[in-house]
């Protein structure tokens, strides 16, 4: 952006406590639900058993950190070949797990841009399917930039990925709010010097932003 819009002029940037927001994406801006690829044709209890027996979240985190799904699938096939068909359903229909934007996400990001606050993303997302997030949730395109863990081959809560975001976007952590729905990531960001917010919804995030000096509707913008 060039300059600060008139809507932001009522509160000089120097008077604010933050001048940037670094968003997690999954279930903060972009919806992700790994049950959805199975919905309607695999009973939920069967899916839950698969997630538990395969340690699906660990597999998913490994992919977020740069390990390709074919490698992870081969590892699962060597250890538990009976679970591979369930993984294949998820991989074939991964797009269904990303049904769109989190309610309120676009309004929050547009408002921050309008009042001159810079907006970025720091996401744990695999390189192979990162394009799905961008395609399913146009709010991603409103961000100035996104650090994607799968491209970096390092994922939150590793402090290195926060260092890369700071360097790439030239952030001052003390003047940047990091918001994520995962407590350990929020804690890691705090250790890296960021202001932090455990995300529970955009209304609550709006209250936090107001407390940090970002105007609401009637005073230069709306985060309600």
Say whether pLDDT at 87 is over 70: yes
Q: Which two tokens stand for residue 2?
A: 């060039």
- The angle subtended at Cα 34 by Cα 86 and Cα 91, nearest 5°, is 45
Work out whether the CA dihedral 202, 130, 70, 163 comes out positive or negative: negative
Q: Where are the domains of the chain?
A: 6-32+99-211, 36-97
Share of the chain above pLDDT 90, in %: 88
Q: Please, what is the average pLDDT of the chain?
A: 91
Report the C-alpha gap between 83 and 49 in whole angstroms.
Answer: 10
Say whether pLDDT at 112 is over 70: yes
Please state the rounded mean pLDDT for residues 104-120: 97
- The angle subtended at Cα 108 by Cα 133 and Cα 1, nearest 5°, is 85
Say whether pLDDT at 13 is over 90: no
Statement: 6-32+99-211 belongs to CATH 3.40.50.1000: yes
Q: Which pLDDT belongs to residue 16?
A: 63
Please state the rounded mean pLDDT for residues 43-58: 98
Q: Which pLDDT belongs to residue 114?
A: 96
pTM given for the model: 0.89
146 in Cβ contact with 169 (< 8 Å): no
Q: What are the distances in angstroms from CA 23 to CA 83, 157, 196, 205, 224?
A: 34, 14, 10, 11, 18
């Amino acid at each position: 952006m060039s300059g600060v819009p008139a809507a932001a002029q009522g509160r000089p940037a120097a008077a604010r406590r933050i001048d940037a927001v670094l968003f997690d994406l999954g279930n903060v801006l972009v919806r992700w639900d790994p049950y959805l690829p199975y919905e309607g044709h695999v009973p939920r209890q069967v899916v839950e058993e698969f997630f538990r027996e395969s340690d699906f979240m660990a597999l998913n985190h490994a992919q977020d950190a740069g390990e390709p799904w074919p490698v992870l699938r081969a590892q699962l096939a060597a250890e538990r070949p009976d679970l591979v068909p369930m993984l294949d359903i998820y991989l074939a229909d991964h797009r269904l797990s990303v049904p769109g934007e989190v309610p309120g996400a676009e309004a929050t990001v547009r408002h921050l841009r309008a009042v001159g606050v810079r907006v970025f993303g720091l996401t744990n997302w695999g390189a192979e399917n990162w394009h799905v997030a961008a395609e399913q949730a146009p709010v991603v395109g409103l961000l100035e930039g996104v650090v994607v863990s799968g491209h970096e081959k390092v994922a939150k809560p590793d402090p290195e990925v926060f260092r890369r975001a700071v360097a790439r976007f030239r952030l001052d952590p003390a003047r940047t709010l990091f918001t994520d729905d995962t407590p350990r990531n929020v804690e890691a960001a705090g250790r890296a010097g960021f202001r932090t917010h455990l995300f529970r919804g955009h209304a609550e995030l709006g209250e936090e932003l107001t407390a940090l000096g970002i105007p609401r509707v009637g005073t230069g913008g709306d985060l309600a």
